[in-house]
Amino acid sequence: MSVILIHTDRFAEHQTPPGHPERPERAEVLDALAARWRERGSEVVAPRAASREQLLRVHDGDYVRRISETAGRATALDPDTYTSPESYEIALLAAGACVDGVERVMANAHEAACALVRPPGHHAERSRAMGFCLFNNVAVAAAHARSNGARRVAIVDFDVHHGNGTQHIFEADPHVLYVSTHQYPYYPGTGAAEEVGRDAGRGFTVNLPLEVGAVDEDYQLAFSRIIVPVLRQFEPDLLIVSAGFDAHERDPLGGMRVSTAAFAAMMRDLRAVADECCRGRIVAAVEGGYDLHALGTSLDGAIDALAGPAQPAEWPASGIHSSRGEAAVAATSAAIRAFWRV
């Protein structure tokens, strides 16, 4: 089994106010999955905390200090982002788990790693917490990979929300490709097809904005026509996945109709590209996903896809007619045609 899971039951210690969707019960889903995969023979290891040096590659020093000062206290960082006394420490473990995954995969100790973490990270900006996120876990991981010899790192984000933080942190960097599928228009407001990066990073941000209600076939089209071809041309040394499961049909926040099986298909497609381009090196990190049952089953299928063996993804068919995928692919193709053959 070539997938390693990075997990600790401490992720439940980050508390949010009653009724908050990003709740400690999500950690119990992660605990159960870690236990199940350990029984199936996978290695499960506890993360180390991310270091200050690792955080400072993508966050401002003042911001890191401000978050560290929430230790021992309950605070509101923005209208939906909160800390409890342990949150700082737990957020360090979430970012550190992603760093651990990168180190193990870059050292070829394992082909694939999955960081079973909370809080999520992709909304966290260089100097601002938002959208339940404190530190940008995948950005810290991508920057760590770059500092440790990866020339090109690709981040694919299939969370239902656009990863504004990740996009902004790398938007001028041609060595880190950011590709996102997301409900649009929707929180946080960014992620239009025309946002393609800036300066030297132009072309290295690829957004696939999907209208609310998108189904499996829309995602399949986005993957086959844009995501996979762009990844093949970029030829990353490492593929990082912001794996959010809130596009699931049961999710209370997202408005999409993605099935459990489609998340496995997405991960199988990504694993196949990683096999082609970067010796199978792929690190997935959990982002959103707020229906506990959907989170558990979808993430289980995604881990199974990561574990391999590599095989062509069999995409499920919803049978629902939708032109949302065609519309997103058309908009994105027009926006990125100058940079990629799609």
Supply the residues annotated as catalytic: 123
- Coil, strand or helix: which one is 334? helix
Name which position in 111, 216, 246, 291 contacts Zn ion (CB under 5 A). 246
Is 121 a binder of Zn ion (CB under 5 A)? no
| Binding piece for Zn ion, criterion CB under 5 A, among 10-18, 27-35, 36-44, 237-245 | 237-245
| Binding piece for Zn ion, criterion CB under 5 A, among 94-102, 140-148, 222-230, 288-296 | 288-296
Using CB under 5 A as the binding criterion, the count of chain residues that bind Zn ion stands at 5
What is the per-residue binding string for Zn ion in 157-176, x denoting contact by CB under 5 A? --x-x---------------
Nearer residue to Zn ion within complex by CB, 118 or 281? 118
Nearer residue to Zn ion within complex by CB, 240 or 278? 240
Phi/psi-derived region of residue 179, left when phi > 0, alpha when psi is between -120 and 50, beta in every other case = beta
Name which position in 96, 288, 296, 316 contacts Zn ion (CB under 5 A). 288
Please report, for residues 10, 201, 205, 239, 310, the alpha-carbon distance to residue 178 in angstroms, rounded to integers and kept in the order given: 30, 10, 5, 10, 23
For the chain, the farthest-separated pair of C-alpha atoms sits apart, in whole angstroms, at 51
| Binding piece for Zn ion, criterion CB under 5 A, among 90-98, 110-118, 286-294, 309-317 | 286-294
Q: What is the DSSP letter of 49?
A: P
Residue closest to Zn ion (Cβ):
288
Q: Which residues, including other chains, have CB under 8 Å from residue 244's CB and lie 6 or more apart?
A: 120, 122, 157, 158, 159, 160, 161, 286, 287, 288, 289
- Coil, strand or helix: which one is 258? strand
Chain-centroid distance of CA 169 in Å reads 14
Interface ranges with Zn ion (CB under 5 A):
159, 161, 244, 246, 288
